[in-house]
Structure 1
Amino acid sequence: MKTVMVTGGAGYVGSILLRRLLERNYRVVCVDNLMFGGEALLDIWEHPHFSLAKRDIRDREAMQALFAQTQFHGVIHLAAIVGDPACARQSELAQQTNWQASIDLLEASKQHGVERFIFASTCSNYGKMADPGGFVTETSTLAPVSLYAELKVKFEKTLLESDPSPDFCPTALRFATVYGISHRMRFDLTVNEFTKELALDKELVVFGEQFWRPYCHVADFSRAMLAVLEAPREKVAYDVFNVGDTAENYTKGMILNELLKVYPNARIKRIEKKEDPRDYRVNFSKIAQRLDFKISKTVPMGMQEIAEILQLGVIPNPEEQKFYNIPHTP
């Protein structure tokens, strides 16, 4: 049985990935400092192939000890200070975690014979499209405009441009903007937040509805990582893939139009904004053609599921701080 380390496994993306890996008969070690708690792990706690290594990836000695005691087939690196606002608030911690600790993790993986290394990057790396009418691809110029994206680009470059080894298979995945239901739920993401505001019958204030972003359901993130983990080496080694679907590029205005189908009487205040340093549409044909990857959910489907769990009271108070990565005031 192969063992996979998932850093940040108790988080929004990782908590789903843990379950998909267990379903596919991997032994899974979740490395997480439980910054946002560990409730997302409760229902798999007694799974015979699951274990939690509670530690901070910045603790080099503790991480080395973990590598020394377990032979890992793969490392899926999700742990990070996530998002532009969180990195801006905690810039030193972001540098330590998203850059230095990631380098240490990469070196330890190579040193201890890890075969597969998957890095969670972001489409935010593209910044603003040079051609407003076009689409960016994996070969487009990267133009990060935040510390979060700058550190992602910096580590990507180190990961993919190192001297190739036939025994090591690193891959970077530039994920679209995420949304949807997870075991560690978040309501500070565009689709989730907009749906939540209208579900609570609040006025939704939207700035700059004309700017583009690609979106991808959190469940499909795990499907993409599994596709890469299990793909033939020659298809993914030292390579990068955008993760999403080309049809799932939306402006905020388009998202509002979809929400109005769910909440026709919604109160929406649209505030004009002429400039946004991040404005990009992404082409996702590479992962579709190379790995036959297809998404399973669309933005309207994600809105419906979030609306449903709030309507039914599955999450009775979505304004609780635990659902947000930065301080939240209802």
Structure 2
Amino acid sequence: MDNAVRRVLVTGGAGYVGSVLVPQLLHRGYAVRVLDNLRWEGTALLGVAAAPAFEFQAGDVRDRDDVARAVRDVDAVVHLAAIVGDPACRLEPALAEEINLTASLRLLDAARAARVGRFVFASTCSNYGRMADAAGYCDETTPLRPVSLYAELKVKFEEHLLGTADGPCATSLRFATAYGLSSRMRFDLTLNEFTRDATAGKELIVYGEQFWRPYAHTTDLARACLHVLERPERDVHRQAFNVGDDAENYQKAMLVQEITKQIPGLRFRYVHKDEDPRDYRVSFEKIRALGFRIARRIPDGIREISAAIRTGLIRDPYDKKYVNA
């Protein structure tokens, strides 16, 4: 534990990544406060609710009073609260801008006013858009070409955060496409959806099987937040890091191949597409040089999700509560 960081505020802590991060922080000895409006209920945090070092604050990042109370007496903020994903932002564009940009700017201002020491922002590798060089990899120096409202808003706040000279030690984590189990489960993510349908015996309809995307397990996305909190400020201040692993860049057809190794008899059909603006491979060398290594890989995610469905731990994976939009 970094001795300068004792209490951490996690916005969106009841969400898909947040509900994985909070137990990790508690296990490492941090006091944790969660600010969440419980749009997706709060059951994901029941496992930590009785922990002495855990505090839950029901509230909204758009509310100035809620935010002012949330940042009081904390040493670090991990900002996860957002309308997440392209479909959800398309469905509610005004709300997406209000939360993902306007409220984020206010949160940063409040953290600065409260003299919070660290600010970690959950950004996205979707910021890169389509690769200029089909044979290359995007790294943190690659120009950002967002092609969706979700990515545009992430880029705007990230540029403000990293371009601000005063205030907290600021770090932006560009998450690869998430997958894996979480206490607040989602089945609107590519690998999770494919694995669900394969386990249910459905035929996979795969659009644009040749397009690339990087992937990262929820456990590792959460671990990356913890990792940068514990690095010296000189290593992470005003820095962006891609979060994932070079070997976890996959084409959709490659994901299908991995699923067939574990779920025999999988039926699938490719629907060819010539264009996908989100076709990119990403280099994760910068965060690797920071000492970060992933702990879970695509086959692990397939195995755990399929088992959770087959054993009945997830009774109805088609329930609408598992979809953000």
Which segments of 5 or more consecutive residues in structure 2 lack a partner in the other structure? none
Identity of aligned residues (%): 52
1:8 aligns with 2:8: no
**TM-score, scaled relative to structure 1:** 0.96
- 1:81-135 CA distance string (max 9 Å, x none): 0000000000000010000000000000011010000000000000000000010
* Amino acid in structure 2 at the alignment position of 1:303: I
Which segments of 5 or more consecutive residues in structure 1 lack a partner in the other structure? none
Residue matched to 1:308: 307
Equivalent of residue 53 in structure 1, options 54, 57, 74? 57
CA drift of 1:65 comes to 3.1
Aligned partners of 2:35 and 2:70 also within 8 Å? no
CA drift of 1:162 comes to 1.2
Aligned partners of 1:164 and 1:238 also within 8 Å? no
Q: Which secondary structure does the structure 2 equivalent of 1:250 belong to?
A: strand
Using the alignment, how far apart are the partners of 1:45 and 1:66 within structure 2?
Answer: 17
Q: Which secondary structure does the structure 2 equivalent of 1:216 belong to?
A: strand
Deviating beyond 2 angstroms after TM superposition, the runs of 4 or more aligned structure 1 residues are none
Q: Which secondary structure does the structure 2 equivalent of 1:121 belong to?
A: strand
1:40 aligns with 2:49: no
- 1:114-160 CA distance string (max 9 Å, x none): 00000000000000000000101000010000000000000000000
Aligned partners of 1:9 and 1:79 also within 8 Å? yes
Residue matched to 2:33: 29
Residue matched to 2:131: 129
Residue matched to 2:141: 139
Residue matched to 2:320: 321
Using the alignment, how far apart are the partners of 1:210 and 1:58 within structure 2?
Answer: 40
Taking only aligned residues, the RMSD between alpha carbons, in angstroms, comes to 0.9
Equivalent of residue 65 in structure 1, options 52, 63, 69? 69
- 1:194-233 CA distance string (max 9 Å, x none): 0000101111111000000000000001111111001001
- 1:266-313 CA distance string (max 9 Å, x none): 111210111001100000000001x21000011011101111111111
* Amino acid in structure 2 at the alignment position of 1:315: I
CA drift of 1:66 comes to 3.3
Q: Which secondary structure does the structure 2 equivalent of 1:231 belong to?
A: coil
1:288 aligns with 2:288: yes
Aligned partners of 2:128 and 2:280 also within 8 Å? yes
Using the alignment, how far apart are the partners of 1:254 and 1:299 within structure 2?
Answer: 10
Using the alignment, how far apart are the partners of 1:248 and 1:229 within structure 2?
Answer: 24
**TM-score, scaled relative to structure 2:** 0.97
Residue matched to 2:152: 150
CA drift of 1:164 comes to 4.2
The residue correspondences of 1:67-146 to structure 2 (distance < 5 A) are: 67=71, 70-146=72-148
